[in-house]
Amino acid sequence: MISVSVGPVGNSVATSGHVGEVEADDGTLWQRSRLGDLDAFASLFERHATAIYNYLFRRTGDWAVAEDLVSIVFLEAWRHRDTQIASDRVLPWLYGIATNVIRSRHRAQRRYAAALHRLPRHESEPDFAGESDARLDAEQQMRVLLTQLAQLPKRDQDVLVLCGWSELTYEEAAFALHIPVGTVRSRLARARKRMRELTSAERTQEGWNPTNTRSQPRP
């Protein structure tokens, strides 16, 4: 598994004091959300917003963009609240929405700019603040990895970030991407092999240039 040391940088999600909702499992909260319960949906948001935020950061390399896209992901989830989801598949389903938002990022941002203002406001908002220097360092490190990642087919990128960097299981990634588990396994193996080759090649090139002092993330 490729280790990526660009996880949360002091980011946390504040809770709104909905104790009953927070203790309920995802399936219960989703069933209540399907009936229009905003408090239940707010609890799902509070529970999973940070995970989705970090996934979006790993796809964009930009904290500010990731924060904007989180709102779009959960707006999409609310719009599709009639979807029947098993209790252990709510988070993978959100990852699937996030992946689709990334694929159509610019169109989605334009489409939902006005709709976001109509999204119900909660007593708390996610606190994604962190130390600016640490956030900048994480962005620089992530952009190096994204340069390499961009050399993979998009379908392999999706699987690598979901399984290799966000640590979803094969089954969860398959559910998120609507593909067979076997396809997840083969794409992940191919993506890991290619990333190792790219990392090795880049380090070899740097070795030939004694004036190159760029630091590299760990493979």
Q: What is the mean pLDDT of residues 68-84?
A: 94
Q: pLDDT tens digits for 86-122?
A: 999 999 999 999 999 998 876 666 665 555 555 555 5
3-state SS of the chain is CCCCCCCCCCCEECCCCCHHHHHCCHHHHHHHHHCCCHHHHHHHHHHHHHHHHHHHHHHHCCHHHHHHHHHHHHHHHHHCCCCCCCHHHHHHHHHHHHHHHHHCHHHHHHHHCCHHHHCCCCCCCEECCCCHHHHHHHHHHHHHHHHHHCCCCHHHHHHHHHHHHCCCCHHHHHHHHCCCHHHHHHHHHHHHHHHHHHHHHHHHHHHHCCCCCCCCCCC
Strand partners, 6: none
Q: What is the mean pLDDT of residues 188-205?
A: 86
CB 181 within 8 A of CB 170: yes
Q: Provide the percentage of residues in the chain whose pLDDT is more than 70.
A: 70
The region of weakest confidence among 2-11, 47-56, 157-166 is 2-11
Q: Report whether pLDDT(30) > 60.
A: yes
Angle at alpha carbon of residue 110, lines to 105 and 113, rounded to 5°: 115
The more confident residue out of 59 and 5 is 59
Q: What is the pLDDT of residue 143?
A: 87
Q: What is the pLDDT of residue 216?
A: 37
pLDDT confidence tier of residue 151, bands split at 50, 70 and 90: very high
pTM score of the predicted model: 0.75
Q: What is the mean pLDDT of residues 71-81?
A: 94
Q: What is the pLDDT of residue 135?
A: 79
Which domains are seen in the chain, by residue range? 12-131 (1.10.1740.10), 151-209 (1.10.10.10)
Q: What is the pLDDT of residue 54?
A: 95
Q: Provide the percentage of residues in the chain whose pLDDT is more than 90.
A: 59
Residues sharing a CB contact under 8 Å with residue 86, sequence separation 6 or more, in sequence order: 27
CB 212 within 8 A of CB 203: no
Note every long-range contact of 63-71, with CB atoms under 8 Å and residues 24 or more positions apart, other chains counting: 63/128, 63/130, 63/135, 63/138, 63/139, 67/128, 68/109, 69/98, 69/101, 69/102, 69/105, 69/108, 69/109, 70/126, 71/112, 71/116, 71/119
Residues sharing a CB contact under 8 Å with residue 150, sequence separation 6 or more, in sequence order: 157
Q: How many residues does the chain have?
A: 219
How many C-beta atoms surround the C-beta of residue 170 within 10 A? 17
